[in-house]
Amino acid sequence: MAVTIKDVARVAGVSPATVCRALTTPELVRAPTRARVVQAAHDLGYSPNRAARGLITGRTGNLGLIVPDLANPFFPSVVKGIQARAREAGYTVFLADTDEDASVEAELVRALSKQVDGMVLCSPRMIEDELRSIAGDKPMVMLNRRVGRIPSVTVDNVGGMRQAVAHLTALGHRRIAYAGGPRSSWSNRERLRGLRAVAPSAGVQLVEIGNFTPQFASGLAAADLVLAADVSAVIAYNDVMALGLLNRLRARSVNAPTDISVIGIDDVALAAMIDPPLTTVALPKQQIGRCGVDLLLALMENPDRVGVARRELDTQLMVRGSTGPLCRT
Amino acid sequence: MAVTIKDVARVAGVSPATVCRALTTPELVRAPTRARVVQAAHDLGYSPNRAARGLITGRTGNLGLIVPDLANPFFPSVVKGIQARAREAGYTVFLADTDEDASVEAELVRALSKQVDGMVLCSPRMIEDELRSIAGDKPMVMLNRRVGRIPSVTVDNVGGMRQAVAHLTALGHRRIAYAGGPRSSWSNRERLRGLRAVAPSAGVQLVEIGNFTPQFASGLAAADLVLAADVSAVIAYNDVMALGLLNRLRARSVNAPTDISVIGIDDVALAAMIDPPLTTVALPKQQIGRCGVDLLLALMENPDRVGVARRELDTQLMVRGSTGPLCRT
DNA sequence: TTGAAAGCGATACCAT
DNA sequence: ATGGTATCGCTTTCAA
């Protein structure tokens, strides 16, 4: 059996109430008494039962975190940021992976919400209505998506696309393909919006290749469509798809950057490990996580200001080997 | 305020005790009563407070999970397996990332152990003594490491090395380098043990290049040592290092598989995405996780049999493009 | 079959 | 400054 507050009280020769105070509000206890309590607690290896505490304080000291797919290298980075920031703030985190399934997501939100002080939803798949109906319960922040007045941390997708297009046009490209992500993805819609807004004024023709699941195999499939589209450059919804593109293009003897330029989005670690390294729009992945936790903590202090809590982080094009000047043939 | 058992009791017109029974031990409640309770619970959207329940039952319904570094693509897969299996079994999981720091690890184990029914330690960095002293508390299982009588799930590292060496010797290689992982890594020691055991009888010379942190940059550094060692093939401690090797070797105009053969370990997703794809010893990553949870659940039922609980999973060489027949010059 | 009541471990209020 | 006590939400005897 674990050691409880009563054990400490007995050993220290005081009441449980005093033990509690000595440990949580030391200034309310006379120094010598406090010392005895602390000593006893230490000797017994006492540490308070958080569940019991939570029962009465209403705070659990836990945060919930829901991600769509840990196998996508983008998410572990975000999770790492969240976990690190939460630990600094004295919180532990519940992690759940939904396997990209929106119904699982809803179920998990409901289940977890009972045991946490707040939740971070990473790239949520749920439909807006559902999201709203659940959001009322516990404070929660969304990452990589904006819905109604739910607090969120997002990145400047439009700015990222602007940088990408500027880079390509500077290199001479005038016809650029976009291999899109899932139609339901907020990030994809934003990226597309950015591209559509930027392309005309940059004097480039945008060719939308279609919507794909954000996977390697999708990049493979997209590559053939890209080749048929007669473009000199392609922007992919994310790095993993860009890798698929690169792979299949090379299989068809079209090499980056000489024959075609390829840009990814995310800047996952492996983007810099391949040859040629992938030019990509970097997202501050860990910072997205840290920032999300910061927002959540602020919200938990002051639940009223929910509506205004919103952060947008910068993106940065990383120019690497997969893009190069247009070769006029 | 959340809906409690009392609310349900009131609406259903029964006592809280009956609500509890109807929901946890239905056979003890008359059907019509049970129906009313279930109906009320559903209408109110009731779900029991797990913390309160845990207080009395002594079981939290939570599992703790500690990993050294989510940024290493090996671990997210394991985590995914753990998380999936835990969810199936009705458990939620606490996740903590130690950033490869053994002292953080110890602290986290201690902190988490209070709030969970059991813990999974993934590739623990802690020294054995420390590990043992903490292990007494809650049931725990280790992944990728064996220490004393602590239950563990490991993989057949030796068998993996045997397959790798057999593959290379069949291709004609007779001098093989091993670019090792951290000296403190149990997996690294096992792999080295396997190589040393297998090499002589296979008629190959093993050249140990040194110990490295399991990162891309280490592979870069190791590559030059490999070239100086005059070998025709190299096995890396893991895939990420193998990628570094491939990268730097190519920079020095030594290309796999024509000029040298390279084998990694893990089979992370990106191993198959690069060109040439990486030949690697695949570990059943998700299964390691699932298996660890299974073991843990079994242990929680029957805490006595701790000593014997131990599983070793198979490894499988995936022959891909980064290895090829020896080119005699 | 159901209800009343006693805790689980910690906190917070009210006395002293 | 300290102790007694009610309470958080739920489970589990013990009676009825």
pLDDT score at A292: 97
Give percent above pLDDT 90 in chain A: 80
Cβ of B92 within 8 Å of Cβ of A97? The answer is no
Q: Is the pLDDT of residue A124 over 90?
A: no
| Mean pLDDT over the full length of chain B | 93
208-267 of B, contacting A, C-beta below 8 A: 216, 240, 243-244, 246-247, 250
Phi, psi of A194 (to 5 degrees): -60, -45
**Rounded mean pLDDT, A168-189:** 96
How does DSSP classify residue B29?
S
Upstream peptide bond of B182 is cis (omega within 30 degrees of 0): no
Do strands A279-282 and A261-266 pair parallel, antiparallel, or not at all (unpaired)? Answer: parallel
Q: Which residue is nearest to nucleotide D5 (CA to C1')?
A: A17
Q: What would the pLDDT profile of A8-67 be if each residue is shown by its tens digit? A: 999 999 999 999 999 999 999 999 999 999 999 999 989 899 999 999 998 999 999 999
Q: Is the pLDDT of residue A159 over 90?
A: yes
Please report, rounded to whole angstroms, the spatial distance between the CA atom of protein residue B10 and the C1' atom of nucleotide C1: 18
Distant-in-sequence, close-in-space partners of B27: CB < 8 Å, separation ≥ 6: none
| Statement: the CB of B45 is under 7 Å from strand D | no
B309/chain A closest Cα distance in angstroms: 24
pLDDT score at A178: 98
- The CB-based long-range contact list for B20-28 (8 Å cut-off, 24+ gap) reads B23/B48
Q: What distance, in Å, lies between the first and last C-alpha atoms of chain B?
A: 78
Q: Is the pLDDT of residue A136 over 90?
A: no
CA–CA distance, A36 with A12 (Å, rounded to integer): 6
pLDDT score at A325: 96
pLDDT score at A306: 60
Please report, rounded to whole angstroms, the spatial distance between the CA atom of protein residue B4 and the C1' atom of nucleotide D15: 26
A297 to chain B, any CB pair closer than 8 A? The answer is no
Q: Which nucleotide is nearest to A37 (CA to C1')?
A: D2
pLDDT score at B309: 85
pLDDT score at B1: 64
| Statement: the CB of A51 is under 7 Å from strand D | no
**Rounded mean pLDDT, A59-85:** 95
| Mean pLDDT over the full length of chain A | 93
To 5 degrees, how large is the angle CA B7–CA B8–CA B11?
85
pLDDT score at A88: 94
SS3 B314: coil
Instruction: Pick A70's closest partner by Cβ from B54, B79, B270.
Output: B79
| Statement: the CB of A33 is under 7 Å from strand C | no
**Rounded mean pLDDT, A118-144:** 83
Q: Is the pLDDT of residue B32 over 80?
A: yes
| Statement: the CB of A33 is under 7 Å from strand D | yes
User: Which of the residues A3, A57, A83, A220 would you substitute to probe the B interface, choosing the one with the greatest number of B C-beta atoms within 10 Å?
Assistant: A83
pLDDT score at B308: 65
Q: Which two tokens stand for residue B167?
A: 């593959």
B77/chain A closest Cα distance in angstroms: 6
Q: Is the pLDDT of residue B210 over 90?
A: yes
Q: What would the pLDDT profile of A263-301 be if each residue is shown by its tens digit? A: 999 999 999 999 999 999 999 999 999 999 999 999 988
**Rounded mean pLDDT, A165-188:** 96
Q: Is the pLDDT of residue A329 over 70?
A: no
pLDDT score at A34: 92
Phi, psi of B157 (to 5 degrees): -60, -40
Chain B residues lying within 8 Å of A83, measured CB to CB: 70, 95-97
Q: Which nucleotide is nearest to A53 (CA to C1')?
A: C10
Cβ of B94 within 8 Å of Cβ of A96? The answer is no
Chain B residues lying within 8 Å of A87, measured CB to CB: 96
Chain A residues lying within 8 Å of B80, measured CB to CB: 70-71, 97
**Rounded mean pLDDT, A291-316:** 87
| Statement: the CB of A308 is under 7 Å from strand C | no
3-state SS track over B62-89: EEEEEECCCCCCHHHHHHHHHHHHHHHC
Q: Is the pLDDT of residue B295 over 90?
A: yes
Please report, rounded to whole angstroms, the spatial distance between the CA atom of protein residue B68 and the C1' atom of nucleotide D11: 38
Within a 10 A sphere around the Cβ of A154, how many other Cβ atoms? Answer: 20
pLDDT band for B288, please (50, 70, 90 cuts). very high
**Rounded mean pLDDT, B284-291:** 98
pLDDT score at A109: 87
Please state whether B36 falls in left (phi above 0), alpha (psi between -120 and 50) or beta: alpha
* Residue A20, amino acid: C
pLDDT band for A135, please (50, 70, 90 cuts). low
Positions of chain C reached by protein Cβ under 7 A:
1-5, 7-13
Which residue would you say has higher pLDDT here, A114 or A9? A9
Which residue would you say has higher pLDDT here, B323 or B58? B323
Q: Is the pLDDT of residue B305 over 80?
A: no
Positions of chain D reached by protein Cβ under 7 A:
1-5, 7-13
Q: Is the pLDDT of residue B246 over 80?
A: yes
Chain B residues lying within 8 Å of A60, measured CB to CB: 51
User: Which residues in A161-184 are b (16+ Cβ under 10 Å) and which e?
Assistant: bbbbbebbbebebeebbbbbbbee
Please report, rounded to whole angstroms, the spatial distance between the CA atom of protein residue B292 and the C1' atom of nucleotide C10: 33
**Rounded mean pLDDT, B281-304:** 93
CB B107 within 8 A of CB B98: no
Q: Which residue is nearest to nucleotide D13 (CA to C1')?
A: B17
Q: What would the pLDDT profile of B79-135 be if each residue is shown by its tens digit? A: 999 999 999 999 999 999 999 888 888 888 888 888 999 999 998 888 777 777 776
Phi, psi of A150 (to 5 degrees): -70, 130
CA–CA distance, B38 with B75 (Å, rounded to integer): 41
Q: Which nucleotide is nearest to A29 (CA to C1')?
A: D1
Q: Is the pLDDT of residue A71 over 60?
A: yes
Q: Is the pLDDT of residue A94 over 60?
A: yes
13-32 of B, contacting A, C-beta below 8 A: none
CA–CA distance, B144 with B152 (Å, rounded to integer): 7
Q: Is the pLDDT of residue A258 over 70?
A: yes
pLDDT band for A307, please (50, 70, 90 cuts). low
Q: Is the pLDDT of residue B328 over 70?
A: no
* Residue A57, amino acid: T
Q: Which residue is nearest to nucleotide D7 (CA to C1')?
A: A56
SS3 A70: coil
Cβ of B216 within 8 Å of Cβ of A92? The answer is no
| Statement: the CB of B18 is under 7 Å from strand C | yes
| Statement: the CB of B316 is under 7 Å from strand C | no
